[in-house]
Amino acid sequence: MTMDMFLCLFGLAWIQPFTVSLHTEHIRVKTNHVLHVIDDMFVGVNIDSGRLRYNLKFHNVSSPKLQALGKALAPGYLRVGGTSGDYMVFDPTHDIATGQQFQLRATTWDDLNMFVQRLDSNCFLTDGGASAIDVLTVHHYYFNGNTAKLEDFSYHSIMDRLISEVQTVVGMVRSYHGLVAWLGETSSGYGGGTPGIGNRYVAGNL
């Protein structure tokens, strides 16, 4: 027996245990017991708060077409959020925005609420915003995804940042009866994540 023939036979012997035959599996689904019920309002639509900077200039909320599309999604949640929300201030009587901040005008907020009312659908806190919203949502990212390094994904000091942020937010909403806070968006790094790292096992730490 030549060496080439020996290697060929050895290779066939090695492959043999991994050969899988195809066959049919029968699965029985029990329908007499409910495991979980999804709320009717599980659908959510988001308007980036940056759009409010331009007073809905690029969103004609009185458009019949937009209203028809919105009604098709009801019931659901309309969430106003995004990074620009960190710079948005609200005072219906005075323009108090400074620096990078921008003013959310009372007319813009009225237009947005009128849009929701037409659909028959079912941070501002100190200046009256708490009475106009049901839920305060928070976005949390641990670092800039474009500049993060591999070791950033395992530092406990970075992972602990969420704890202090949650404590701060809970402390804020506690002063307003009925207002709750949701962690509406989170991931390891903002800006699209960290290429080559954010999709690896180590990203599961965050």
- Domain ranges for the chain: 40-205
* Residue 109 half-sphere exposure toward CB, CA atoms < 13 A: 16
Between CA 147 and CA 149 the distance in angstroms is 7
Give the pLDDT band of residue 14 (cuts 50, 70, 90): very low
pLDDT at 145: 87
The pLDDT tens digits of the residues spanning 24-64 come to: 878 888 888 888 787 777 777 778 888 888 888 777 888 88
Which of helix, strand or coil describes residue 46?
strand
pLDDT score of 168 more than 80 = yes
> Mean of the per-residue pLDDT values for the chain?
77
CA angle 197, 198, 204 (to 5 degrees): 110
Q: Which of 21, 10, 114, 99 is nearest to 66 (CA)?
A: 114
Contacts of 205 (CB under 8 A, 6+ apart): 153, 154, 159
pLDDT at 12: 43
Give the DSSP per-residue string, 6-24: HHHHHHHHHHGGG------
Give the pLDDT band of residue 5 (cuts 50, 70, 90): very low
The type of residue at 159 is M
Which of helix, strand or coil describes residue 186?
strand
Output the six-digit token pair for 148.
């993060």
Between CA 179 and CA 98 the distance in angstroms is 27
Which of helix, strand or coil describes residue 12?
helix
* Total Cβ atoms within 10 A of residue 112: 20
What does the pLDDT average to over 177-184?
81
Radius of gyration over every alpha carbon of the chain, rounded to an integer in angstroms? 26
Residue whose tokens read 């921008």: 102
The pLDDT tens digits of the residues spanning 78-137 come to: 778 788 888 888 877 777 878 888 888 888 888 887 887 776 533 656 656 677 677 888
Fill in the DSSP letter of residue 7: H
Output the six-digit token pair for 60.
């004609």
Between CA 90 and CA 113 the distance in angstroms is 15
